[in-house]
Structure 1
């Protein structure tokens, strides 16, 4: 199962963050609109990501709900009919909730840097260090921590869990 080391943090100044990420990635980033539907499941998380263009991905992942860099293992299956798959999974498993966001993706080395505007939550960033087969978790964590420093992301701004967890807890935009 592929893996990455992830962190998620609240962002107070998305414009400044985007400027810094653009300099580091030498690009303006790519805008991606996503509508994620989370389904009830016994372990990990299962979500259907609809890219709002007749394509999507069914994603299962497991990761600890801690702040700071953490290992995430995942499996992804593409789909060309997200609405139909959403109906089947909703009937079979039940819907836990939905997350709508606009994501600006920057690629910096082996890391996917996301600047997310999440409906009802506000501005966040995510780092996903895509692990190479020969890399240790500690090496991936070091890559994430180094990039956090370059992006001026403080440890105090780190959050645990998924956006879905924050929505279910009733955390609102500040």
Structure 2
């Protein structure tokens, strides 16, 4: 996607696009459908190390157990020039945020639409500074409980993210 779409659009970004961002993509897509919202959702990684791989099996399990349908997914890296085409580009960690800002600078586009996923977490105190305090936990090196914890964090912000995408699209 390189041109601005007419409906609100969200790109969620983590490292390899097989755990956190893929989970967020599934959750946002299903929540938008449940709410009757026409919102484009996609996900990507800052790395190409997992390119072509499906959602991690452990992530699929917790999503399925939570009632989500698992779509076909092929992990991919953020493409040159695509950041400007989204109303919201959401980084899962401060490191991803920095990488996305570098990508925007390289592409010569504004990074005003690049934010942290947990900026929309209603459980966090107002004014929590952008930085590692807003990182979505990485379940990759952990066990089942780590994937459940990540699922809870992602689900906790999903509705606020959808609302923010609608507001951002209206402002653009």
Same fold (TM over 0.5): no
Q: Which has the higher contact order (CA 8 A, sep 6+)?
A: 1
Q: TM-score, normalized by length of structure 2? A: 0.30
Considering fraction of residues, name the structure with more strand. Answer: 1
- TM-score, normalising length: structure 1: 0.29
Max Rg structure: 1
Q: Which has the higher helix share?
A: 2
